[in-house]
A and B are shown apart, each in its own frame.
Chain A
């Protein structure tokens, strides 16, 4: 498909959709339009659910309660407090957002199944409240909600209400898609794939989780308001666990990682449910069977089927795409530009770390000068990676202090350290598996604080402009690391050596001052190790300090200016590679009197 052609399809499709949406009521009877109105409400709910579950990976089984809070708040405020519909609607959405933030609090402490159970429990609690509370009208619910006034348009007509819903829905969906495809959505997807790595590249995980629930609850609240205005009656039955699972079925069948898929699932199931309205039990049976079938045979849902078919076809044709890794283009060496006032870039003082009885680190002190390449070696279990985890904020040290460029950072969260100029890689690769290579890099290039997301609501243009800039920077970075041809691929489909290079590129995307590499040569062949050495030297020459953990002693010897040796959680030696290798304590603890040690000894001692 040629590009100009493709550029035309989008707007043409949108215009066609708009025409269909506008013309639809003309072909529908009174009951049919009611069904469509309800389907749109569910579509809105499903989009919110998709954002939290599919995009941000937060299993949220309280979506139906958000819906309920929106609807009940509107009902109570209009009928009991005598507020007008729209003021009540605004307050209702705010109330839902507040509840959303409260439900998000457990997500800060637990994930996955646990979160599913807690959110479902809270939803049950909400149902329990509605069926018992006097202001909520108990099992009878609340009726006689006023018709929303709108510049003289009679919204008691479900036909006219349809247009109101379509407009709200279109705006909500467009906003959702905008979020997914830009900075915030990218970070949420990164968090879904690997929260630790996302934190390490500057994504503020707690705030992102709150945001995910905030989005889900606002969509739920808006859906609740629309529902209250449409049906003008609320009762506990609408917000039951059975309907929660129906909503889940919509999202799963449509495709949870695609908002459009969620909409298709919601509209489709709403219509089918209406067809089977006289046989609700069979409908439930059918939905259950389809959900089970879907997770087994089409886990990406209806929305994922085209991509799966393409994948199958590509495999049949034999993978035609043969991308090649290009050579690394070295960085411009930086002069002595940075303020080198002699403060070490990294200072670790008397750091200890205990896990229950195990003393992983004990009084470790370490000072790294700017512009150094420091090697950290030691037997397995000597605490090397634990030290990295303490320095990069994954663990909180039990004792001692860490300072980054003279600034005390003990106990700081990974994202803060990332924003302060620390980057790291992981021993066993932590790439975002469902993101493309380019998105992997983009997540790390994005240096904004999550709180800057107010712009999404107030000034989206600025977000677009920034996206443009980031995109350009990502292309440059991928080109430098020779990864351009892999930009659109998923890392998991690529060979190990390339994945390692992507991880270094991602770490460098944050323009760090200090780069921690955890066994960067593990799993690389001789040629790749040589390339790695070249990359690390160039990174250092560009003004970045590098600390690396490595078992490949050949690499450590040739690359590092100074080497720190850990054993049993303590520093046992430090010095130039030659000094360290000659140290009897090191030979005793690490090398043994072994011919096995990968040490080109004679060359180094010369």
Chain B
């Protein structure tokens, strides 16, 4: 029981990171119907930028994080602008285009930071908490807390603000959105920028937990995608649940299958998604055709 709970707690903080990745990915999917394969590499850039600001300029961790979010937000805007001619036309081509961007970002990261990775010191020095015999790292609490705030802010933005409603309207029908005066391109750009910012947040938070290197995006990104799909693509609460689920699954797989944990995670994920292709919270829209 003790081991079970300890593994669960270990999985939750990484799960919160997956949830952030999944949210950014879901937001772009929801507004543009596009799976952004460059998302993982944006995360990597975010992790590098945050760690660079944090370790070399001695900025406080939170400030470094904000800087990283700004940088990746800008990258998001560039990606959206370049791929804009394909918007609402060919999703497969856009998907391939984002893979191209991923290749570019990885190459850029190697040129700037080199091919070897770096370790980031934890910004929270406090000793782990002991609760009911369980060991909880304080940094993990920070990660979960930050992620929770990000979720609340994002949901509030989509549900309560005019810009958020407009963003969803663009996703549903871009011509009708144009006809009521919404700037479709700008709306998509903002979605992309927020998505990229969420990736940077995830990357910055995960830096002190893992090793930061140019290919770190690969696995994290795909697990983030998996989390989003598990929750039902485009569904924000689903992304959160999916992220935590993948994190916990990850943690157990690492405990039981050691080196093969990734293989196990992807096999389990494939099996679940086969049984429920729309994910746990996915809506199968009623077709009145």
**Selected contact of B229 from candidates A114, A126, A287, A290, CB within 8 Å:** A114
Contact, CB under 8 Å: A381 / B288: yes
Additional A-B contact list (14), CB under 8 Å, known A295-B83, A295-B97, A296-B85:
A116-B37, A116-B95, A118-B269, A121-B226, A122-B267, A122-B270, A124-B262, A132-B258, A132-B260, A288-B101, A288-B102, A292-B83, A295-B100, A385-B289
Contact, CB under 8 Å: A110 / B273: yes
Name which of A109, A113, A242, A289 has the most chain B CB atoms within 10 A of its CB. Answer: A113
A124 to B266, CA, bound (A): 8
- Judge whether B35 is part of the interface by a CB distance below 8 angstroms: yes
A282 to B103, CA, bound (A): 11
Chain A residues with CB under 8 Å of B266's CB are: 121-122, 124-125
> From A119, which residue of chain B is reached at the shortest CB distance?
B270
- Judge whether A281 is part of the interface by a CB distance below 8 angstroms: yes
A358 to B262, CA, bound (A): 42
Asked, given contacts A132-B259, A284-B106, whether A117 binds B225 with beta carbons under 8 Å apart, the answer is yes
- Judge whether A389 is part of the interface by a CB distance below 8 angstroms: yes
A358 to B277, CA, bound (A): 22
Contact, CB under 8 Å: B259 / A355: no
- Judge whether B156 is part of the interface by a CB distance below 8 angstroms: no
> From B94, which residue of chain A is reached at the shortest CB distance?
A295
Question: Beta-carbon contacts of B194-232 to A below 8 Å, as 1s and 0s?
Answer: 000000000000000000000100110010011001000
List the 5 shortest-distance A-B pairs measured between CB atoms, nearest first.
A291-B100, A288-B103, A132-B259, A288-B104, A285-B107
Tell me the dominant secondary structure on chain A's binding face: helix
- Judge whether A427 is part of the interface by a CB distance below 8 angstroms: yes
- Judge whether B57 is part of the interface by a CB distance below 8 angstroms: no
In the complex, how many angstroms separate the beta carbon of B202 from the nearest chain A beta carbon? 17
In the complex, how many angstroms separate the beta carbon of A525 from the nearest chain B beta carbon? 25
Chain B residues with CB under 8 Å of A106's CB are: 270, 273-274
A287 to B97, CA, bound (A): 11
Question: Beta-carbon contacts of A383-403 to B below 8 Å, as 1s and 0s?
Answer: 001100100000000000000
A386 to B288, CA, bound (A): 8
Tell me the dominant secondary structure on chain B's binding face: helix
Contact, CB under 8 Å: A296 / B83: yes
A residues near B (Cβ < 8 Å) are: 59, 105-106, 109-110, 112-114, 116-118, 120-122, 124-126, 128-129, 131-132, 241-242, 245, 248-249, 252, 281-282, 284-285, 287-292, 294-296, 299, 355-356, 358, 360, 381, 385-386, 389, 427
How many of chain B's residues have a CB under 8 angstroms from any CB in A? 54
Question: Beta-carbon contacts of B255-288 to A below 8 Å, as 1s and 0s?
Answer: 0001111110111011001100100000000111
> From B90, which residue of chain A is reached at the shortest CB distance?
A299
A82 to B273, CA, bound (A): 40
Chain B residues with CB under 8 Å of A292's CB are: 82-83, 97, 100-101, 104
Question: Beta-carbon contacts of B103-144 to A below 8 Å, as 1s and 0s?
Answer: 111111011000100000000000000000000000000000
B residues near A (Cβ < 8 Å) are: 29, 35, 37, 82-83, 85-86, 90-97, 99-108, 110-111, 115, 215, 218-219, 222, 225-226, 229, 233, 258-263, 265-267, 269-270, 273-274, 277, 286-289
A546 to B106, CA, bound (A): 59
Contact, CB under 8 Å: B102 / A245: yes
Asked, given contacts A124-B222, A128-B259, A129-B263, whether A114 binds B277 with beta carbons under 8 Å apart, the answer is yes
In the complex, how many angstroms separate the beta carbon of B219 from the nearest chain A beta carbon? 7
Asked, given contacts A106-B274, A118-B273, A128-B262, whether A284 binds B93 with beta carbons under 8 Å apart, the answer is no
**Selected contact of B104 from candidates A109, A129, A242, A289, CB within 8 Å:** A289
- Report 10 cross-chain contacts, Cβ distance below 8 Å, ordered by A residue: A116-B35, A118-B269, A242-B215, A284-B103, A285-B108, A288-B100, A288-B103, A292-B104, A295-B83, A389-B289
